[in-house]
Structure 1
Amino acid sequence: MSTVRAATRGLVVADDQLLVTVLHGRTGEYWLTPGGGQHFGESKVENAAREVLEETGYHVRVGDLACGRDYIGARHFPEWDTRFQQTELFFWCHLLDRERDLSVLDPDSSQVGVRWVPLAELIGSPLFPRRLAHWLHEDPSTRPVWLGDIN
């Protein structure tokens, strides 16, 4: 069965570091910004806040839309991801507390941790989508909002 899903992701930047989830999968270790599929009846902002909390334990206030992308699995991993497609909206998120609430953690099945990565170390890292590392270093006044079908 094919899946098309709407999702949000949180861009949590503090002290020039990006909050990422660390996962292990077919491609080895990779990093994602916290996020995931939107539940029925849930707004995009509610989705982003819930996903950041469940995957990292951090409570955040969701701010402005940062950027968006499509992910069409068959175009990026045709050997194994041909039946999955997702549209993701990335929102700027602001930490409400530096302490993690571990009682609410509900990480993805392939998630093995959480890491703060200096922005300067993102280019060439295992962050997906790869374009995001460069995007974060671009001039905010000229960087695109829609990134297209990227990985």
Structure 2
Amino acid sequence: MKPIRNSGKAIIIQDEKILLTVNKDDDGLFYLCPGGGQEHSESLRQAVIRECLEEIGEEVEVQDLVCIREYIGRNYIDGDPGMHQVEFFFECNLVSPNPTFEHVSVPDDHQVGVEWVELSRLDEIRFYPSELGVRLKNKDKSKRYLGDIN
């Protein structure tokens, strides 16, 4: 059994659009907030900054914690049964006023790009976790712990 892993994620919103990584699997495109696994001796904020540099090629300024989600792989049809990840989603701002997203150094395995997506379209695309998309679209900040949701 694998240990529980922490993951720091960035919620970057500008002009009613959210910046997401574009990923591809056998079912087509899916979208995620940039971010990833926390390394030993690294704070969650440091993890978010490092992961954003790797996945979107831009530095971010990490703000407040928006919510926490658990991913328990055995609860999903195609999930990794040994995976248990606690994801911390932080509101972030891009440091550069003119980001290019051209310096992606370590994209995730399925990552094929970076895209600004209108918040109003989050229910039209395959965005994970979908409950976070609903909350962002509706500007709902009522609860911080989302639990194990898809």
**TM-score, length basis structure 1:** 0.90
Amino acid at match of 2:22: V
- Indicate the residue corresponding to 1:73 in structure 2: 73
| Deviates most, 19-28 or 42-51 | 19-28
Q: Deviations over 1:97-130 (max 9, x none)?
A: 1223634521012111111001111113110011
Q: CA RMSD in A?
A: 1.7
Structure 1 residue 59: Cα displacement: 1.3
Deviations 1:63-111 (A, max 9, x none): 000101000011023x552111100000000111122363452101211
What corresponds to 2:60 in structure 1? 60
User: Residue 13 in 1 paired to residue 13 in 2?
Assistant: yes
The 1:120/1:42 distance shift into structure 2, 3 A limit, reads: same
Unaligned runs of 5+ in 2: none
Counterpart-to-counterpart distance in 1, 2:4 and 2:100: 32
Cα separation, 2, equivalents of 1:137 and 1:80: 26
Structure 2: distance between partners of 1:29 and 1:101:
19
State the SS of the aligned residue for 1:63: strand
Q: Is the 8 A contact 2:61 2:94 kept in 1?
A: yes
Partner of residue 40, structure 1:
40
* Cα displacement (A) at 1:3: 4.5
For 1:48-127, list aligned pairs within 5 A: 48-77=48-77, 79-97=78-96, 98-100=98-100, 102-103=102-103, 105-127=105-127
**Contact 2:62–2:93 (CA<8 Å) still a contact in 1?**
yes
Q: How many residues align?
A: 149
Identity, % of aligned positions? 38
Mind listing any 5+ residue stretches in structure 1 that lack a counterpart? none
1:144 corresponding residue in structure 2: 143
* Other structure's SS at 1:102 match: coil
TM-score when scaled to structure 2? 0.91
